[in-house]
Amino acid sequence: MSGEDPEAVAARLTGRTVVARRRLTGAVTEVALDGGPVVVKDAGSAGAARAEAAGLAWLGEAGAVRVPVVHGCEGQWLVTGSVPEGRPDAAAALHFGRELAALHATGAEAFGAPPPGGPTDAYIGAAPMSNVPGDNWPDWYARYRVLPYLRRAVDEGTLRSAEAAVIERACEHVDDWAGPAEPPARLHGDLWNGNVLWGADGHVWLIDPAAHGGHRETDLAMLQLFGCPHLARVLEGYEEAAPLAPGRRQRVGLHQLFPLLVHAVLFGRAYAEQALVAARPYASA
């Protein structure tokens, strides 16, 4: 099925007639059907497609944030609803902050818990991501969200061993900097600006999750790392709905280590240098 056209996939998984198509990226195509448009994504593997489909369903069933409906998942293909896009809006951002807080509050069985039906061997973007449950966030975060990407970055020559030692020391002190213990939150998991769609309906929609149970500040830190329109309003709405523990600003870099190292693995040295800068304040108690 890897040689199929997105139109054929859309027609088969929805039972509708194809009218037109529009390539959005190399892996994503919007296909117009007789019942409305859908988005067809070549996720690269069956595991990645299944993980994303399960993540969308898990986020959607919380009833807190808007996500595209999943029309079908087969092999490496994923077919979802299409979201008509509008412009970023301060009122929508404030509402989104409240919705994101509600999503996180629906919780997860454990840190690292995958969505129901989702694989343990999942993905964040094109990088493998292990959804292995744990009870203690600092230990789990270091073991499954920082160190695997640090080791790969060193193995591939993106980070030097002496530089990696700084990040390893930060991992040893996560517990010292983590703040008060919190229950596992239901995370989007890859919440950068490109996965936040400002809908024409005046609401924010979320796409392309790497959903799992984690610390709610990780989603917020990733949103801050790569920029988001009206971010101050998003955070305002979030704090109104679910106030964060004191000292959140001092913990932002700790939570950003995970996405920075993922990006170092995928995109190279510049992100490795950013990860090193982020780690230094946490490398001692």
Question: What pLDDT score does 1 carry?
Answer: 43
Structure tokens at 219: 């989603």
% of the chain exceeding 90 in pLDDT: 96
200 CB neighbour count, 10 Å cutoff: 11
Query: What's the pLDDT score for residue 2?
Result: 53
C-beta pairs of 116-121 under 8 Å, 24+ apart in sequence: 116/54, 116/57, 116/58, 117/50, 117/54, 117/57, 118/50, 118/51, 118/54, 118/55, 118/58, 118/211, 119/47, 119/50, 119/51, 119/54, 121/47
What pLDDT sits at residue 265? 97
Q: Two tokens at 180?
A: 């008060």
Q: Give CA angle at 198 (208, 13), nearest 5°.
A: 45
**pLDDT recorded at residue 4:** 84
Written as one letter, the residue type at 132 is V
Alpha-carbon gap, residue 26 to 30, rounded angstroms: 11
Closest by alpha carbon to 55, among 43, 172, 136?
A: 43
Range 235-244 burial, b when 16+ CB lie within 10 A, else e: bbbbeeebeb
pLDDT at 76 > cutoff 80: yes
Kindly report the average pLDDT of the chain as a whole number. Answer: 96
Contact in structure between 53 and 73 (CB atoms under 8 Å): yes
Sorting pLDDT into bands at 50, 70 and 90, what band is 284? confident
- Per-residue pLDDT reduced to its tens digit, 200-228: 999 999 999 999 999 999 999 999 998 89
Q: Give the pLDDT score at 93.
A: 98
Question: Would you say the pTM of this structure is higher than 0.85?
Answer: yes
In this predicted structure, the answer to whether residue 246 has a pLDDT above a threshold of 50 is yes
Residues 62 and 103 sit within 8 Å (Cβ to Cβ): yes
Categorize the per-residue pLDDT at 258 as very low, low, confident or very high, splitting at 50, 70 and 90.
Answer: very high
Give yes or no for a contact between 193 and 223, defined as CB atoms under 8 angstroms apart: yes
**In sequence order, what are the beta bridge partners of 80?**
39, 70
Q: Which residue has the tokens 């808007």?
A: 66
The total of other beta-carbon atoms located within 10 Å of residue 202's CB is 12
Per-residue model confidence as pLDDT tens digits over 39-56:
999 999 999 999 999 999
Token readout for 51 is 């993980």
CA angle 77, 22, 88 (to 5 degrees): 95
Q: Is the dihedral of CA 130, 193, 44, 4 positive or negative?
A: positive
- Per-residue exposure over 49-81, b if at least 16 CB sit within 10 Å of its own CB, e if not: bbbbbbbbbbbbebebbbbbebbbbbebbbbbe
| Each residue's pLDDT tens digit, 120-155 | 999 999 999 999 999 999 999 999 999 999 999 999
